[in-house]
Chains A and B, each alone.
Chain A
Amino acid sequence: MIPSPAAIRAATEWLSARARWHPLEMLFWLAAFAAIFVLPDQHLILTEIAWLGLFALSLDLILGYAGIISLGHAAFLGLGAYTAALLAKFHIVDEPVLALLCGGFVAMAVGFVTSFLVLRGSDLTRLMVTLGVALILAEIANRNGWLTGGADGLQGVDIKPVLGLFPFDLAGHTGYTYCLIVLFILFLLARRLVNSPFGLSLLSVKSNPLRALAIGISVDTRLVIIYTISAFYAGVAGALVAQTTAFASLDLFSFDRSADLLLVLIIGGAGYLYGGLIGAIIFKFMQDYLSALTPQYWPFWIGLVLVVLVLVGRERITSWTTPIRRLAARLDWRTTAHLTAPSTEEPGH
């Protein structure tokens, strides 16, 4: 059945209204870029926030938009990091941006292969498989000490200037600017992706796979695509870690990383792209503060936050954003009255 031209127009308008930039979004990115000049002392922690935000964004793509729970997303972080670090160490690819892309593509290739494992079975099977893949990769890195440095980590990595122009410095000025630009570009791509018809079809797969299948969406293909893209994002985040710290360690593959990542995304809220970024900001400052008090027992506080989050209810916790959203709606100068007409059901028909 071919939809009527009016329905197509309504759907297109609805999609483009969804994709329009909100003033608060612009403010967010302006603030992030202003921090390059305004907060030069904080660039080290801001660098960490930037790559953690990118990492959480990659998880958001599969968890928030496709409903895949992963306990082993650190696999791709580690892959990207080791790829970038090894390329730099052995002077195969000296230019960081190219090495960054290589890291992303290696993670993407592994993500593509393992995505077929993720398609199978229930949530429990997915947890197991993602966890298993991360453990296997960590074990591979651990066993091949001649290449990866084993448990000591990969040392002696010399990162050349970005584009041959901007050398990395100890205070993290280049690092932050570099990470932020990468994050921004990948964020724009992700934003484009989730606001496209493809992104909408993903959401339908997430909320009801059976019905999505029934209306002619090929569920498996979409899950493979988004998982592969997500792996690319995580790989790039890993490459950023390796390049800004000039180091890669087994810890990048660890289960704690994957679990922390879930927490980061949950604090910020999944399924609207900014959750990971906001979560990364809150998480890093919380970690900075709490681990200064008791460095060894920091996992306890992560655990406590997770337990409380679940017991109180995630919806109730993230409802702190409601007043902000209301304010956001009022701030919005665009008249969207005639665009809100089609219901969320409309594009599906």
Chain B
Amino acid sequence: MITILVDGIAYGMLLFVLAAGLAVTLGLMNFVNLAHGAFAMAGGYVTVVLVNRVGIPFFAGLPIAFLVSAAIGFVFERTLYVHVYSKNPLDQVLFTIGLVFMSVAAVDYVMGSSQVFVQIPNYLKGQFDVFGISIGRYRLLIIVLCGLLTVALQFILAKTRFGSRLRAAVDDSRVARGLGINVNWIFALTFAFGSGLAGLGGALGAEILGLDPTFPLKFMIYFLIVVTVGGTSSITGPFLASLLLGICDVAGKYYVPSLGAFVIYTIMIVVLIWRPQGLFSRVGSR
């Protein structure tokens, strides 16, 4: 029971790190980036190559995954995405689906279509026994790391100058521009940071979620659920939504395996009917 809860929390935390960037970009530019998972996949594969083939330590691989994904995100944002912001939602959807397809086929070409795993260090394998409850070490690591990241994100958003600019841009980008905030630059940085987080999530999650070229397609729906259920006006909304999704998914698969993925899809549709603006959004804030 507790084990499932911990698994669910670890899974949810991971989803949050993966989807946090998407929530911010969606809220900031009202841009539906279906290709967000591609950046996560990039981070995952970078780690796999570095750790398994080059042989650098797992913990050194994680920041590199972050940096590489962030760099890719930054380049793509400045060269391609920037042309698409002003287009209508249909164009944005077509564009990002196109990117997803290209990334899937390209990774398939370079890395092969089979599932890959990161070799995690031995001391992270196995389980703790705490009062008779067994908790996977790797899961605990994920919870701790992602928890720290969440706190850091919240701190950046709430306390720093960049954070307040970002919030101003999210709330009303026209007025923010009028106040002399360089919204384009903030957006590029946020996009890069969000892609980096996704890359880190991909690297951490390669062990749990599984990593193969169809990763962006498989998890697209999960990211979208997190974002639509959690709303885009704060970071706590997506966080709670991720936890809810993670726990429901793990518990659903464990207790009622015959229902499989129905649980989360049904929850998603019910939430969307009940609260179309998201479960935790401030109603009427816009």
6 A–B contacts, CB within 8 A, in A order: A124-B89, A125-B276, A129-B272, A133-B269, A300-B101, A314-B91
Asked whether any CB of chain B lies closer than 8 Å to the CB of A311, the reply is yes
Which residues of B lie under 8 Å from residue A143 when comparing CB positions?
258, 260
- Are A266 and B94 CB-contacts (below 8 A) given A69-B89, A304-B102? yes
Known: A298-B105, A303-B97. 9 other contacts (CB 8 A): A123-B32, A124-B26, A132-B221, A136-B262, A300-B106, A303-B104, A310-B95, A311-B83, A314-B91
Asked whether any CB of chain A lies closer than 8 Å to the CB of B80, the reply is yes
Choose from B26, B101, B221, B276 the contact partner of A303 (Cβ within 8 Å).
Answer: B101
Give B258's nearest chain A residue, CB to CB. A143
Main secondary structure of the interface of B (DSSP, over half): helix
- The answer to whether B94 and A306 touch across the interface, beta carbons within 8 angstroms, is yes
Asked whether any CB of chain B lies closer than 8 Å to the CB of A262, the reply is yes
- The answer to whether A302 and B93 touch across the interface, beta carbons within 8 angstroms, is no
- The answer to whether B224 and A131 touch across the interface, beta carbons within 8 angstroms, is yes
Asked whether any CB of chain A lies closer than 8 Å to the CB of B84, the reply is yes
Provide the bound-state CA to CA distance between A21 and B66, in Å: 59
- The answer to whether B99 and A128 touch across the interface, beta carbons within 8 angstroms, is no
- Interface residues in B255-286 by Cβ distance below 8 A to A read 258, 260-262, 265-266, 268-269, 272-273, 276-277
Choose from A120, A124, A142, A299 the contact partner of B104 (Cβ within 8 Å).
Answer: A299
Which residues of B lie under 8 Å from residue A71 when comparing CB positions?
93
- The answer to whether B101 and A306 touch across the interface, beta carbons within 8 angstroms, is yes
- Interface residues in A68-111 by Cβ distance below 8 A to B read 69, 71
Most chain A beta-carbon contacts within 10 A, residue among B105, B113, B224, B262: B105
- The answer to whether A297 and B109 touch across the interface, beta carbons within 8 angstroms, is yes
> B260 to chain A: closest CB distance in Å?
6
- Interface residues in B57-116 by Cβ distance below 8 A to A read 80, 83-84, 87, 89-95, 97-106, 108-109, 113
Give A136's nearest chain B residue, CB to CB. B265
Which residues of A lie under 8 Å from residue B26 when comparing CB positions?
124
Which residues of A lie under 8 Å from residue B92 when comparing CB positions?
310
Provide the bound-state CA to CA distance between A262 and B101, in Å: 13
- Are A307 and B80 CB-contacts (below 8 A) given A266-B94, A297-B109? yes
A: contact size bracket = 35 or more
Which residues of A lie under 8 Å from residue B46 when comparing CB positions?
none
> A302-327 interface mask toward B, CB cutoff 8 Å, 1 = contact, 0 = none?
11111101110010000000000000
Which residues of B lie under 8 Å from residue A63 when comparing CB positions?
90
- The answer to whether B94 and A311 touch across the interface, beta carbons within 8 angstroms, is no
- Interface residues in B221-249 by Cβ distance below 8 A to A read 221, 224-225, 228
> B14 to chain A: closest CB distance in Å?
21
Asked whether any CB of chain A lies closer than 8 Å to the CB of B168, the reply is no
- The answer to whether A300 and B105 touch across the interface, beta carbons within 8 angstroms, is yes
Provide the bound-state CA to CA distance between A63 and B217, in Å: 23
Provide the bound-state CA to CA distance between A60 and B261, in Å: 30
> B81 to chain A: closest CB distance in Å?
10
- The answer to whether B258 and A303 touch across the interface, beta carbons within 8 angstroms, is no
- The answer to whether B108 and A303 touch across the interface, beta carbons within 8 angstroms, is no
> A256 to chain B: closest CB distance in Å?
8
Give A71's nearest chain B residue, CB to CB. B93
- The answer to whether B265 and A132 touch across the interface, beta carbons within 8 angstroms, is yes
> B148-182 interface mask toward A, CB cutoff 8 Å, 1 = contact, 0 = none?
00000000000000000000000000000000000
> A317 to chain B: closest CB distance in Å?
12
- Are A305 and B108 CB-contacts (below 8 A) given A69-B89, A310-B84? no
- The answer to whether A139 and B261 touch across the interface, beta carbons within 8 angstroms, is yes
> B177 to chain A: closest CB distance in Å?
23
Asked whether any CB of chain B lies closer than 8 Å to the CB of A117, the reply is yes
- The answer to whether B98 and A304 touch across the interface, beta carbons within 8 angstroms, is yes
- Interface residues in A283-299 by Cβ distance below 8 A to B read 296-299
- The answer to whether B97 and A135 touch across the interface, beta carbons within 8 angstroms, is no
- The answer to whether B276 and A120 touch across the interface, beta carbons within 8 angstroms, is yes
- The answer to whether A310 and B102 touch across the interface, beta carbons within 8 angstroms, is no
Asked whether any CB of chain B lies closer than 8 Å to the CB of A259, the reply is yes
- Are A311 and B260 CB-contacts (below 8 A) given A128-B272, A135-B265, A297-B109? no
Which residues of B lie under 8 Å from residue A124 when comparing CB positions?
26, 32, 89, 224, 228
